[in-house]
């Protein structure tokens, strides 16, 4: 299935413009419609304060929220117009829990694009947004690093493969991008449970789709899988990583760290994930 309907969350962090620019580049490359979503969450204040603050103070806080949302809309409109997508772009606003709202809207898009949460920056109410939507939406997610993304995404792609359900889902969801890629590498952190010829089956499957594949294998014990993936992306000049998300339970992932969380926190290139 082609990418024809993209959704991008436009927040208020400094990196919002680069997130929209990355989404617009992808929409342009795939001739897709792009929807910008601005979310106005509930006011961020302690419960005890809500009954004590004067109405004038609450109004000032609400006006500030409206101004932030207007800034997000302007960021989306100006960036998509600059990319020549004015006739294929749409702005939406919604009020409520960011995680619930984005998860709902994501179900009606081929791909949802979000910005990486910047440590020590941005609005804390949007922290963990990517992780929650990844699990709840049932649709693929593309996370854009807060440091920015290449002008073109999807030319040189690394696919993290461990033969899991999540990895298979990610490959299927990323197929429109892989079909258009110039180089695709299957990355395997070798362990004892992945078979004698790791990557052979998925390489054959993608080759039948006309995709040229190379396979790279590294011992799983050398460094953490997340660090190995990021190092490989740097070595090869990859502009995207495709991987499954949350192979373990949320609770176990939280306790053990996990590749998903590591990548969302430390990514240096856009990462497409599916659960």
d(CA 122, CA 115) in angstroms, rounded, equals: 11
Nearest Cα to 158, choosing from 74, 230, 50, 264? 230
May I ask the CATH class of domain 156-274? alpha beta
**Does the domain at residues 5-144 carry the CATH identifier 3.40.50.620?**
yes
Nearest Cα to 260, choosing from 125, 116, 150? 116
d(CA 128, CA 159) in angstroms, rounded, equals: 23
Q: Where along the chain do the CATH 3.40.50.620 domains lie? A: 5-144, 156-274
Residue 272, beta-bridge partner list: 142, 242
For residue 257, is pLDDT > 80?
A: no
Residue 2 or residue 170, greater confidence: 170
CB 170 within 8 A of CB 244: yes
For residue 96, is pLDDT > 70?
A: yes
Counting every residue written for the chain, the total comes to 275
In this predicted structure, which of 86-95, 102-111, 219-228 has the lowest mean pLDDT?
A: 219-228
What pLDDT score was predicted for residue 76?
A: 97
CB 146 within 8 A of CB 116: yes
Confidence of residue 121 (pLDDT cuts 50, 70, 90): low
d(CA 50, CA 46) in angstroms, rounded, equals: 7
- The tens digit of pLDDT for each residue in 182-237 reads 999 999 987 655 555 668 899 999 999 999 999 999 886 646 888 989 999 999 99
For residue 44, is pLDDT > 70?
A: no
């Amino acid at each position: 299935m082609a990418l024809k309907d993209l959704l991008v969350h436009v927040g208020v962090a400094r990196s919002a413009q680069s997130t929209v620019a990355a989404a617009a580049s992808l929409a342009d490359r795939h001739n897709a419609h792009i929807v910008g979503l601005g979310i106005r969450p509930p006011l961020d204040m302690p419960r005890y304060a809500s009954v004590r603050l004067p109405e004038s103070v609450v109004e000032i806080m609400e006006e500030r929220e409206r101004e932030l949302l207007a800034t997000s809309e302007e960021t989306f409109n100006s960036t998509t117009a600059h990319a020549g997508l004015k006739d294929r772009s749409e702005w939406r606003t919604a009020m409520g829990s960011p995680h619930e709202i984005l998860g709902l809207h994501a179900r009606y898009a081929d791909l949802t694009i979000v910005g990486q949460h910047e440590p020590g920056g941005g609005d804390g109410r949007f922290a963990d947004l990517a992780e929650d939507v990844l699990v709840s939406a049932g649709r693929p997610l593309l996370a854009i690093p807060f440091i920015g993304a290449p002008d073109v995404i999807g030319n040189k792609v690394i696919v993290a493969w461990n033969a899991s359900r999540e990895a298979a889902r990610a490959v299927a969801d990323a197929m429109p991008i892989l079909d258009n890629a110039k180089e695709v590498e299957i990355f395997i952190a070798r362990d004892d449970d992945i078979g004698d010829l790791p990557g052979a089956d998925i390489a054959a499957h993608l080759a039948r789709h006309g995709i040229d594949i190379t396979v790279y294998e590294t011992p799983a014990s050398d460094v953490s899988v997340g660090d190995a993936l990021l190092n490989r992306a740097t070595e090869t000049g990859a502009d995207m990583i495709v991987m499954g998300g949350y192979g373990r339970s949320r609770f176990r992932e939280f306790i053990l760290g996990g590749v998903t969380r590591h990548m969302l926190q430390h990514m240096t290139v856009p990462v497409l994930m599916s659960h």
